[in-house]
Amino acid sequence: MKNVRKVIWVAGVVCVMLLGGLVSTHAFAGTNLVVNGGFELPDIPFGSYEILASIPGWTTDYGFSVEIRDNYGYGIYGTPYEGEQFLELDGYESSNILQNIDTIVGNFYRVSFAYAGRDGGETYTGNNEIDAYWDSQLLEELRTTTVHEWELKEYIVQASDTTSTLKFNDVGESTSYGGYLDAVSVELVPEPATLLLLGMGGLMLRRRRPS
Ligand SMILES: [Ca+2]
Ligand SMILES: [Ca+2]
Ligand SMILES: [Ca+2]
């Protein structure tokens, strides 16, 4: 019985140490590192839209403005992917948004976001075209001919610097009609070895408990 207690105690200590290691990486897996990734700020009135030169958390390096919509549009056309608001690139003119994110060199991150085509946007060539980048790495050339059908996109990327840049470039014609984005997220992916050890620690505790 003494040995069993010792094994449980050691397994517990190992788990705490591993968890401590994860904490020290300044971000738990599952924590969204993107500020205002759901475009809920600034909070604009329900059923309206605003064209803004800047929004919290994001900057732009071309284009005058982006557009935030809060359930603005007929029927499903105004529905966000999550929350109450979403973003349209190309508010008055073709634009981009980017955000610098603190990352750990060599660590892996899960990048995800929702993308949809704009109602009315399909009438102009290339209106919904957005190129998504992680630093200089092209994640995807986002293209759609559908109207307001949210697609959840996911990628696993690796950080090569202590700051990584997530960027969305509108690459369609400057028409005031652009693609939609919502629910932008970057989460730390635990290292496989750490996950394995955590799993083994948990397994050891479960197996020893009955005796
Ligand atoms: Ca949202
Ligand atoms: Ca609102
Ligand atoms: Ca456009």
SS3 content of the chain, % helix, strand, coil (to 5): 20, 35, 45
Residue 8 lies in a domain: no
Residue 197 lies in a domain: no
CATH number at residue 35: 2.60.120.260
pLDDT for 13 equals: 44
Distance 71 CA to ligand 2 centre (A): 8
Q: How many domains does the chain have?
A: 1
Residue 82 lies in a domain: yes
Predicted confidence (pLDDT) at residue 52 exceeds the cutoff of 80: yes
Residues spanned by the domain of 62: 28-192
Distance 8 CA to ligand 1 centre (A): 44
Distance 5 CA to ligand 3 centre (A): 65
- Bigger pLDDT: 210 or 100? 100
pLDDT for 14 equals: 45
Residue 5 lies in a domain: no
Find the ligand nearest to 34 CA. Answer: 1
**CA triplet 184, 128, 80: central angle to 5 degrees?**
45
Categorize the per-residue pLDDT at 27 as very low, low, confident or very high, splitting at 50, 70 and 90: low
Distance 72 CA to ligand 2 centre (A): 10
Residue 167 lies in a domain: yes
Predicted confidence (pLDDT) at residue 8 exceeds the cutoff of 70: no
pTM of the model: 0.79
pLDDT tens sequence across 102-141: 999 999 999 999 999 987 766 666 889 999 999 999 999 9
Residue 161 lies in a domain: yes
Measuring CA to CA, which residue among 177, 68, 70, 75 is closest to residue 120?
177
Other C-beta atoms within 10 Å of 203: how many? 11
Distance 30 CA to ligand 3 centre (A): 34
Residue 202 lies in a domain: no
Find the ligand nearest to 72 CA. Answer: 2
How many Cα atoms within 13 Å fall on the side-chain side of residue 184? Answer: 27
3 state SS of 69: strand
